């Protein structure tokens, strides 16, 4: 998992520039990408699956995530995307965003899937409890 450059700067400014205490986000949206978003990626330029064929980001709240332990946090509950009504392509990465609206908000972090998945009509993408693990080290 890698944080975007934007969020790396947010954390550094908080630590070294006497930033205000970070407030937890009310929601974090999970999206799928067909290539690495890259640390310089933005919500509008991150190789996200096309905004068609029933693709939507999944909105999560704090109750969906475990408490961080040893620098890692994972999903406590399943994260389920809507069933595809057409081809989404080969998904290689998962990404976290500040907005549930396609192309808006900021890219927070991203990570490569252990196994890429080709998504086509009638396929429902889900991440079982504990499947998404984000690490700070």
Q: What is the pTM of this model?
A: 0.89
Cα 24 to Cα 27: distance, rounded to the nearest angstrom = 9
Cα 106 to Cα 83: distance, rounded to the nearest angstrom = 25
Query: pLDDT of 27-83, one tens digit each?
Result: 999 999 999 999 888 888 899 999 999 999 999 999 999 988 888 899 999 999 999
Query: pLDDT of 70-127, one tens digit each?
Result: 888 999 999 999 999 999 999 999 999 999 999 999 999 999 999 999 999 999 999 9
Q: Is the pLDDT of residue 20 over 70?
A: no
């Amino acid at each position: 998992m890698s944080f975007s450059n934007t969020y790396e700067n947010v954390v550094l400014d908080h630590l070294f520039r006497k930033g205000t205490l970070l407030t937890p986000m009310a929601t974090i949206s999970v999206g799928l990408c067909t290539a690495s978003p890259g640390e310089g990626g933005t919500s509008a330029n991150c190789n996200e699956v096309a905004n068609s064929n029933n693709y939507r980001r999944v909105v999560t709240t704090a109750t969906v995530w475990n408490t961080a332990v040893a620098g890692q946090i994972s999903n406590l509950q399943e994260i389920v995307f809507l069933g595809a009504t057409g081809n989404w392509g080969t998904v290689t990465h998962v990404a976290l965003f500040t907005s549930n609206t396609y192309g808006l908000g900021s890219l927070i972090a991203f990570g490569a899937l252990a196994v890429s998945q080709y998504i086509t009509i009638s396929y429902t993408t889900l991440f079982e409890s504990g499947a998404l693990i984000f690490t700070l080290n």
